[in-house]
Amino acid sequence: MNTAPQFTWSLASASLRQRPLRSVLTALGITVAVAGAIVFLSLGEGIRRVFADQLANLGPDIQVTYGSGSGDFFPTTPDLPASYLDELLARADELGIRQVVPVLLYLRGGLAPSQSFVFEGLPAGTPLADLFTGATAEEGRLLGAADEGRGVAVIGATAAERNRIKLGATLRLNPATSLEVVGVLGATGSLVDNVIVVPLTTLQTALGVADRYSLLAVTSMRPERADEVATRIQTAYPELGAQTRSEIFDQVSTSLRVSDFVRLGISAIALIVGAIAVANTVMMSVFERTREFGVIRAVGARPRFLFGLVLSESLLLALAGAAGGILVGWVGVYLVNRVALDQLGLEVALVTPRLAAFAVLVAMVMGLVSGLLPAGRAARIPIAAALARE
């Protein structure tokens, strides 16, 4: 059995333990770099999961908006003429449409996310479960046809919990309009958890847009052919944009990929700084141990042994930093999600096994690359010059 590799790793570990403070500080630098990379990249993973979950629980197959269809996932501008509702309903059989629900969205911003509210105007008689899978009233009741035009609202579970809004509370939509909370929804894991549902005509009157909607939520007769229905709608009405859930998610994913490169670039800077720290520490160790390496060479060790020894020290530092980085990164992600849950009602960061494996791989490559120069320097030390050094 060849024990040379075990001996090399053991010797490298012993060398690092002889300089504990320097080794710990270097590993800590790598830990911070890896942890930062994990936190930054986990945001992309988490937001992807959020959108996938939200869209999976969204009832309508197609979202119709006014414009090019480049896809405003959350169109708060009420620019869709109400006449298109009647036109789509009149051609429902021809286009393959089963249901069309007009939607009016209004975002009332605040100084903090917890002070912002999303109001969604829907025809009061529309079953909420048609738009949001599993939407039921946990307290109070849902809106009924008789509520159309009245100052009432049903609030999502997360919005109610985050803002401490109870059944029977009064919400101020604008200075002229107040709403009584007649129902609190149970948690569904969909968009409705964070919105306040209001009768459509109530919201239209409050905003002064009686003949406009933000979008039309279309359910096709055959959900598996939603793409075909969307194509028919855009062919019949080129001025409209019709997007399926999969298209919306694809656009979100494309945007997230762009942000992934930005986060990866920021993380790369931190990782490069960590690699420089490793290279500096190992190079200093090589200079301090020049005489020691000369003695090792004098008793028969080959240059490649010293090369492997120094490289092993670099890899051990990187591995220790990667392990610490995963732990600190997980804690960082936990804290980010705690803040996001409090402010937004959503977990926006996610550490996946793939992400953890990527972080370890990057740290090992960083250790390998940063150790090459010091290792090469150690392997080229002349025996006579090393022994003569004080």
pLDDT score of 301 more than 80: no
Angle made by CA atoms 364, 370, 376, in degrees to the nearest 5: 120
Q: Return the H-helix or E-strand segment holding 220.
A: strand 215-220
Rounded average pLDDT over 98-124: 80
Can you say how many angstroms the Cα of residue 22 is from the centroid of all Cα atoms in its chain?
Answer: 36
What is the model's pTM? 0.63
Rounded average pLDDT over 76-91: 89
Angle made by CA atoms 269, 366, 309, in degrees to the nearest 5: 150
pLDDT band at 26 (very low <50, low <70, confident <90, very high): confident
pLDDT band at 197 (very low <50, low <70, confident <90, very high): very high
Higher pLDDT, 20 or 166: 166
pLDDT at 111: 47
Weakest mean pLDDT among 13-27, 86-100, 170-184:
13-27
Write the pLDDT tens digit of every residue in 209-224.
Answer: 988 999 998 988 887 7
pLDDT at 280: 79
DSSP characters over 192-206: GGGEEEEEHHHHHHH
Return all residues near 375 (Cβ < 8 A) that are at least 6 apart. Answer: 282, 306, 307, 308, 309, 310, 311, 314
- Write down the domain spans for the chain: 4-53+252-388, 76-213
Both tokens assigned to 17 = 């333990």
pLDDT band at 11 (very low <50, low <70, confident <90, very high): confident
Write the pLDDT tens digit of every residue in 348-385.
Answer: 788 888 888 888 888 888 788 888 887 787 777 776 65
Length of the chain: 390
pLDDT score of 190 more than 90: no
CA–CA separation, 256 vs 262, rounded Å?
10
Higher pLDDT, 283 or 145: 145
DSSP secondary structure code for residue 58 in this structure: B
CB neighbourhood size of 145 (10 A): 10
In DSSP terms, 62 is beta-bridged to 218, 244
pLDDT at 232: 92
Rounded average pLDDT over 280-289: 76
pLDDT band at 143 (very low <50, low <70, confident <90, very high): very high
DSSP secondary structure code for residue 138 in this structure: E
In DSSP terms, 154 is beta-bridged to 183, 197
pLDDT at 389: 55
CA–CA separation, 104 vs 52, rounded Å?
23
Higher pLDDT, 119 or 313: 119
pLDDT at 57: 59
Average pLDDT score, the chain: 81
Rounded average pLDDT over 10-17: 78
In DSSP terms, 59 is beta-bridged to none
Weakest mean pLDDT among 243-257, 313-327, 361-375:
243-257
DSSP secondary structure code for residue 230 in this structure: H
Calculate what percentage of the chain has a pLDDT beyond 70: 86
Q: Which of 22, 50, 41 is nearest to 325 (CA)?
A: 41
